[in-house]
Amino acid sequence: MLDDLNLWRWQRYTAIVTLPLVLAHVVLQLFVFGIDSASYADVSARLKGGAMLTVDLLLLVAVCAHAFLGLRSVLQDYARRSALSGRITRVTLIAFAATVVYGLAALVAFI
């Protein structure tokens, strides 16, 4: 199991990874594909191309991991017992997994 220091480090890693992924998403969206149309067919074509899908999948996982590691950290500040601390970690892990699955389902709908 990951200890608090490793989870703290992973939150920093996800922050470092998120910035270039957001920049790549913006560059692809604005300058490569253009923002002329956001119809279902256009978005589907962009995602089927591969580059946008790869960036979006990595961005989904990085942002969700960063968010739920941060939420876990904030909630841990209020945990007074170690048993509660363990529950907080499990609940945030389940919420992270559920959010990633939901995001994957949303992306798959366009493919």
Residue type, 93: L
CA-CA distance, 64 to 31, in Å (whole number)?
A: 26
Domains of the chain and any CATH numbers:
4-108 (1.20.1300.10)
Q: Which residue has the tokens 């529950």?
A: 87
> Per residue in 99-109, pLDDT tens?
999 999 999 99
Residue pair 89/72 in contact (Cβ under 8 Å)? The answer is: yes
Structure tokens of 18?
A: 């998120």
Contacts 24+ apart (CB under 8 A), 57-61: 57/104, 57/107, 58/17, 58/21, 59/18, 59/21, 59/22, 59/25, 60/100, 60/103, 60/104, 60/107, 61/100
CB 47 within 8 A of CB 56: yes
Query: Do the beta carbons of residue 70 and residue 11 sit within 8 Å?
Result: yes
pLDDT, tens digit (0-9, with 9 covering 90-100), for 47-66: 898 888 999 999 999 999 99
pLDDT digits 0-9 by tens, 27-36: 988 888 777 7
